[in-house]
Structure 1
Amino acid sequence: MIFAIAQYTGLSKGQTHWIANLSDDIDFFFKSRTYGSDLSELYIGLITVKPEFDQFFKKRRPRYRLGEKTSIVDGIIIKSNNCAEIDVKIEHAEISKLDKGKLVERVCEAILAECASLTRLYKLKDFDYIAFKAAFENYLIEQSYIKR
């Protein structure tokens, strides 16, 4: 399974780098794992913008695209296959002053909580959410990204 965090953020360069590294780590963990044939790609849109930009970056409802799709965004061809997209919105003021450990923990907790929306995607039938959530949560705890 492919996993990625797309950032829509007003955070510092260092903070966005920490989140990009987190995305790479989680993607590496999920690379060789499968939780059913209906989900091959999971993209998280992380929205952390200053209040004056909130009107431009609204949290969208979760989306699922069954099968192989090709789209063109800004002249770039993007291919996806059995893809789910989930937005996670965290208030900018809540995380902009956090150090690396606390910021990564807050982002991981928000992503883990929002992944519950996968159960509401009616087209997503062959997907073991319980195994996915357990593996994801255990990985985040093992890597000390979150505490339980």
Structure 2
Amino acid sequence: MKLSNMQHIYKKTKFHPLNNIFFYTFTDQTNKHMKISINCPILSVEFGKTTKYDDIHELNSKMETFFHNKLYLDKVEEYSVGLICVSPGFDEFFKPRRPKYYEDKILKAKGLPGPEEIHLKHHLFFELKLDYATFFPSNKEEGYNIIAQSFLKFLEELKYPSAIKNFDKKRFNNDMREFFVQMGCIL
């Protein structure tokens, strides 16, 4: 990689008072990127008879690939989306939580399979609710369209937590729109 194509940051790390010299550290930022994922969608039991889980997994893989080399703020290294789509009888039990940003937090998950501690660093999480009446009977392409339209509408209205107010929302939203267009979605 050519040096001219590299992003780099110089940080003042030490000041030598006798010589009035600042010492700088060089950090190569070319390997920094944001990981985006659709985490464990919450779907009603009847979705088990459909291909929705596979469709969402495929969409997630393509989204991860598309956003692999993109970064919108150093403080956001992971961007997780939780999809919720439950039948009307369970709707009241599955309300989307407000967006949450974890700068550096260890969550304890005792009694669950897997690690007992989960370390979240520079992690943004939000949940998005899909309309059951339209999403459940949809085919793969229609389902992607529903996710795309819901996702983009949500992003336009999203107020990011104050800790990450400098997140490049406009560029991220444009990239997300471009991703869904490349997927063939009708926006």
Partner of 2:79: 42
Partner of 2:43: 9
TM-score when normalising by structure 1: 0.88
Q: Structure with the greater relative contact order (CA < 8 A, sep ≥ 6): 1 or 2? A: 1
Gaps of 5+ in 1: none
| Higher fraction of helix | 1
Summarize the Cα distance change of 1:129–1:105 in structure 2 as closer, same or farther, 3 Å threshold. Answer: same
* Matching of residue 62 in structure 1 with residue 99 in structure 2: yes
Partner of 1:51: 88
Partner of 1:27: 64
1:54-89 Cα offsets, whole Å, 9 max, x none, are 2221111111112x3222332533222211111111
- Is 1:95–1:103's contact at 8 Å kept on the other side of the alignment? yes
Overall identity of the aligned pairs, in %: 23
Task: Write the mapping of 1:35-114 to structure 2, written as runs, cut at 5 A.
Answer: 35-66=72-103, 68-73=104-109, 74-75=112-113, 76=115, 77-114=117-154
**Largest Rg, 1 or 2:** 2
Distance 2:55 2:119 in 1: 26
CA RMSD of aligned residues (A): 1.7
TM-score when normalising by structure 2: 0.71
Runs of 4+ displaced beyond 4 Å: none
Task: Count residues in correspondence.
Answer: 146
- Is 1:36–1:128's contact at 8 Å kept on the other side of the alignment? yes
Shift of 1:118: 4.5
Q: Partner letter of residue 71 of structure 1?
A: L
Larger mean Cα displacement after TM superposition, 97-106 or 125-134: 125-134
